[in-house]
Structure 1
Amino acid sequence: MGHVVTWPGLYCPVEPAAHPMAEQAQIRSVEWSTRFELAPDPRRRARLAAAKLGPLAALSAPGCPPAWLQVLADMATWWTAFDDECDDGRSTDELGVLMWPVLRAFDAPASHAETGYAAALSDLRHRIAALATPELARQFTDGLRATLLTELVRTAQTSGGAEPTYDESLATRGRSSSPAWAFPLLWHAAGCRGSAEATLADPACGVLLDLTASIINWDNDFHSYDGDRADPGNGRNLVSQVRVRLGCGEQDAIAAAVALRNEVMALFLRLRDRLHHRADPDLRRFLAGLGHYLRGNLDWHELSGRYATTGISLVPEWERVWCDPRLRTPAISWWWDEADGS
């Protein structure tokens, strides 16, 4: 398709910030991924380097210690390489076989790793254990398990040429998706000293994590839309899902998808501010960190070679364009109930 579409502004009032060691983190992550052979051929190595995952970590956690910055950059590199494998047309059975050595690395980190992914993950777990508590290592492991399970579900949803419904797709974009492993790392990278267990288990905080993960995934969808439009694949891009749900044209679907995303961003900010008033110092640091995570992901799209969509801008104020009520399906409608009742 050669026609031009117009993108409404993405609402994000969080100010940009970046860690000063972004370039060092990028260089070291490329070296680390090469050492563990995460990208097995020159084309994939070049694509992984062009993703600029060191800057992603620097934009997402601008105030973290250097060791944590490198953990975040390396884990983002690991996940990006692995996610490319997941999206490489594998069946559910093939994906399960790919994931098995990784899952085994959780249970037997000292055993001989049989794949580059498992070996690299064992290295990361050892580094995380040296920087934080056993609780953090367990939370990270649990988060990555949830992410891998979600990827299996997403692959199963498209088996045999099927496509997930709008509601089914939304259900796999929340806190059990790829950001699940990032949340415990961001807790410690933000300088939180206490246990995250009780805080992250709080229902209101759980809603906030679901909102955060969904916004991250939707923003990625918007910035990859031009590429997805040229190669529709499984039709899981939010814009494509909204277009089917509403039975509308492309431009109207873009406007409706952005309206949903911006309203959810406003909900995130409202709930975050409410939690901030009753928060202890650790939770306040984490809440600020989630804001950096959302803004950093947006700014990263301008640097990364993974995203082809142009013409997307950020706006500091919400225009209060409400989303179509048909888009508030059961997968997400509870957000408003929980947030307003917290």
Structure 2
Amino acid sequence: MRQGPELIVPPTYAPIPPAIHPRHAAIDAQTVDWAQAFGIGSEELRGRLVMHDIGTFSARILPAGHEEVVALLSDFVFWLFGVDDGFCEEGSLGRRPGELTAVLHRLLRVAQNPEAPMLLDDPLARGLRDLRRRVSRYGTAGQATRWVDSLREYFFSVVWEASHRSEGTVPSLSDYTLMRLYDGATTVVLPLLEMGHGYELQPYERDQPAVRAAAEMASFIITWDNDIVSHHKESRATGYYLNVLRVLEREYRISPDGALTVAIAQRDRVMCAFMRLWDALLDGASPQLRQYLQSLASFIRGSQDWGISSLRYTTPEDPACLPTYFVDSPSDDSPEPLDIPAISWWWDLLPADPHPSVHRLTPMRPLFAHTSA
């Protein structure tokens, strides 16, 4: 087993209050049953994943969401780990991007057309068919289409990552950032944020550059946080791994400790930008947009809480040095854009005042009753 550098992760900035769905334990148990019933992943992988409190993670993302959609999200996250861990991180396909592309395209066809007579004996395909039908049950036709389109983005990005894994290469920071916005599967969750509260955000709001930027900022923060807490686990595994700390080490020719400091500063600066944009977007926002923005915030905080508490990252058999709490002040609150071309445009959309009146987000009550499509 490769032994990576022992890093002590300090508490990170968390201006968003925590919350969790009251049915989190039942949702977690239901996902375990679902994964067993469909045989998601190998028996060994499934045995590990059922210990990771994936239902609790989903319950933190949608703390006031409708239980059936929180359960759908939980099952979907488990399925994503079956793909990411089983195919990409640990399977041989993760080093053969051409073959991985073919497999993922077949799965994509199943998501597009669950009735297609393809991969009928494949556990991941069977699970995906179930997920797709439930997406159609709880969402609109437009939301189902966006979910499939986002799944295509995710598949495309993991093939991109597989190409680096096959060659043993490390991408530039800008390329890694762009890839990470999608291969973290955050965008595939976004339609479920709407379904969880029974509304559909209209394109004239969702496609505003500032709203797209807020969603991308959330993806950046979530994936940077994930890379920070998962570094211990990944650096001690066998074979190739790709992580923002490794990218930063190479980009800036710095030590692992230096890379950790830079990564935390980057996520803190984006968190500050997210809060400024969040505050500005609320002014004049529709009830649907207000709920969507609140859900983005819950997604960020839920990922933080799960990241420092799940056995997936604490790895008690070889304990990671992760924090047990968060802090109220960022390590970097500069209003200047990060020097990352793929995302520097976000700062063009921020209000002029770099210090908004709202420094800590407050929970919102759910605004919508559930409606099935």
| Aligned: 1:246 with 2:252 | yes
How big is the shift at 1:92?
0.2
- Provide the rounded CA distance (Å) in 2 between the counterparts of 1:2 and 1:236: 13
**Contact kept? 2:228, 2:245, Cα under 8 Å:** yes
Aligned to 2:207: 201
> For 1:158, what is the secondary structure of its paired residue?
helix
- Greater displacement, 263-272 / 164-173: 164-173
| Aligned: 1:219 with 2:230 | no
- Provide the rounded CA distance (Å) in 2 between the counterparts of 1:19 and 1:239: 32
Unaligned runs of 5+ in 1: none
Aligned to 2:328: 316
When the two chains are superposed, the root-mean-square deviation of aligned CA atoms in Å is 2.3
Unaligned runs of 5+ in 2: 315-319, 353-373
Q: After superposition, give the CA deviation of every residue in 1:18-57 in whole Å (9 maximum; x if it has no partner).
A: 101111111111111111111222x112111012110011
Aligned to 2:39: 37
TM norm structure 1: 0.92
> For 1:124, what is the secondary structure of its paired residue?
helix
| Aligned: 1:21 with 2:23 | yes
Q: 1:193 to 1:324 in 2, by over 3 A?
A: closer
**Contact kept? 1:192, 1:282, Cα under 8 Å:** no
1:315 is matched by which residue type in structure 2? Answer: V
Q: 1:210 to 1:286 in 2, by over 3 A?
A: same
Give 1:153-168 correspondences, 5 Å limit.
153-168=160-175
The match for 1:126 among 133, 136, 153 is 133
> For 1:9, what is the secondary structure of its paired residue?
coil
- Provide the rounded CA distance (Å) in 2 between the counterparts of 1:139 and 1:270: 27
How big is the shift at 1:331?
1.6
The match for 1:136 among 125, 137, 143 is 143
**Contact kept? 1:164, 1:236, Cα under 8 Å:** no
- Provide the rounded CA distance (Å) in 2 between the counterparts of 1:243 and 1:92: 25
1:261 is matched by which residue type in structure 2? Answer: R
- Provide the rounded CA distance (Å) in 1 between the counterparts of 2:190 and 2:140: 15
The match for 1:259 among 252, 260, 265 is 265
- Provide the rounded CA distance (Å) in 1 between the counterparts of 2:9 and 2:133: 43
- Provide the rounded CA distance (Å) in 2 between the counterparts of 1:2 and 1:128: 40
Aligned to 2:303: 297
Which structure has greater helix proportion?
1
How big is the shift at 1:175?
5.0
- Greater displacement, 124-133 / 300-309: 300-309
How big is the shift at 1:253?
1.6
**Contact kept? 1:208, 1:268, Cα under 8 Å:** yes
> For 1:306, what is the secondary structure of its paired residue?
helix
Aligned to 1:106: 111
- Provide the rounded CA distance (Å) in 2 between the counterparts of 1:74 and 1:4: 33
Q: 1:278 to 1:138 in 2, by over 3 A?
A: same
Aligned to 1:338: 349
Q: 1:52 to 1:141 in 2, by over 3 A?
A: same
**Contact kept? 1:186, 1:286, Cα under 8 Å:** yes
> For 2:18, what is the secondary structure of its paired residue?
coil
- Provide the rounded CA distance (Å) in 2 between the counterparts of 1:60 and 1:146: 21
Q: 1:210 to 1:92 in 2, by over 3 A?
A: same
Identical counterparts, % of pairs: 27
Aligned to 1:75: 76
- Provide the rounded CA distance (Å) in 1 between the counterparts of 2:235 and 2:142: 42
1:300 is matched by which residue type in structure 2? Answer: W
Aligned to 2:189: 182
- Provide the rounded CA distance (Å) in 2 between the counterparts of 1:230 and 1:330: 31
Q: 1:249 to 1:323 in 2, by over 3 A?
A: farther
> For 1:279, what is the secondary structure of its paired residue?
coil
Aligned to 1:52: 53
How big is the shift at 1:229?
2.6
**Contact kept? 2:224, 2:244, Cα under 8 Å:** yes
The match for 1:284 among 275, 282, 290 is 290
How big is the shift at 1:321?
5.6
- Provide the rounded CA distance (Å) in 2 between the counterparts of 1:18 and 1:173: 26
| Aligned: 1:95 with 2:100 | yes
TM norm structure 2: 0.84
- Provide the rounded CA distance (Å) in 2 between the counterparts of 1:28 and 1:82: 20
How big is the shift at 1:167?
1.8
Q: 1:107 to 1:251 in 2, by over 3 A?
A: closer
- Provide the rounded CA distance (Å) in 1 between the counterparts of 2:127 and 2:229: 28
How big is the shift at 1:128?
1.6
How big is the shift at 1:324?
10
- Provide the rounded CA distance (Å) in 1 between the counterparts of 2:17 and 2:112: 40
Q: 1:338 to 1:2 in 2, by over 3 A?
A: closer
How big is the shift at 1:71?
0.7
Give 1:270-281 correspondences, 5 Å limit.
270-281=276-287
How big is the shift at 1:113?
4.4
2:15 is matched by which residue type in structure 1? Answer: P
How big is the shift at 1:8?
3.6
- Provide the rounded CA distance (Å) in 2 between the counterparts of 1:166 and 1:18: 34
**Contact kept? 2:57, 2:74, Cα under 8 Å:** yes
- Provide the rounded CA distance (Å) in 2 between the counterparts of 1:58 and 1:23: 9
